[in-house]
Amino acid sequence: SLAALLAVSAFAADIVDSGNCGKNGDNVTYTLDSDGLLTISGEGEMGDYSYSNRAPWYDRCEEIKKVAILDGVTSIGNSAFSYCSNLTSIEIPNSVMSIGDSAFTSCSSLTSIEIPNSVTNIGDYAFESCSSLTSIKIPSSVTSIGNRVFSFCSSLTNIEIPNSVTSIGDYAFESCSS
């Protein structure tokens, strides 16, 4: 009925931003809805970003509360979600093989993250200053952990590192006071 359709649409979030975020342009796309859900979808690698070349959603970073990366995306780009201070959760599929440098730097509301068994590399500064992150389990697929990966994660009380990890970068746990 029309009333039922209107009731359902009243709960649907509106798309407030969308575009390309793939390494090759439109191979990976994103949508941000009015509830703060950023969805990344497509096939292949995300683009890499930096201080001078920000992610396309950077100006709306404060609005992002949850990130859902869909199956088919194979990497999380450098600085992709850095400074998204209201981000509380992220879903990473088994298609993702690498987490880029500074990917989650200063995501100060992120309390936990589940890294899938497909990830082999965690880049430098990936979780630096994630001050609410309390626990993390590194899957046995990971062989290297970059420099300063968990530095300034002041709430981190528990971390599991498997035997597969053969290198841990400099200052990986600097100022992890808990």
Contact 55, 28 (CB under 8 A): no
Q: Report angle CA 109, 88, 140 to the nearest 5 degrees.
A: 100
Q: Encode pLDDT of 79-104 as tens digits.
A: 999 999 999 999 999 999 999 999 99
pLDDT digits (tens, 9 = 90+) for 99-110: 999 999 999 999
pLDDT digits (tens, 9 = 90+) for 103-160: 999 999 999 899 999 999 999 999 999 999 998 889 999 999 999 999 999 999 999 8
What is the residue-wise DSSP string for 102-138?
Answer: TTTTT-TT--EEE--TT--EE-TTTTTT-TT--EEE-
pTM above 0.95, yes or no: no
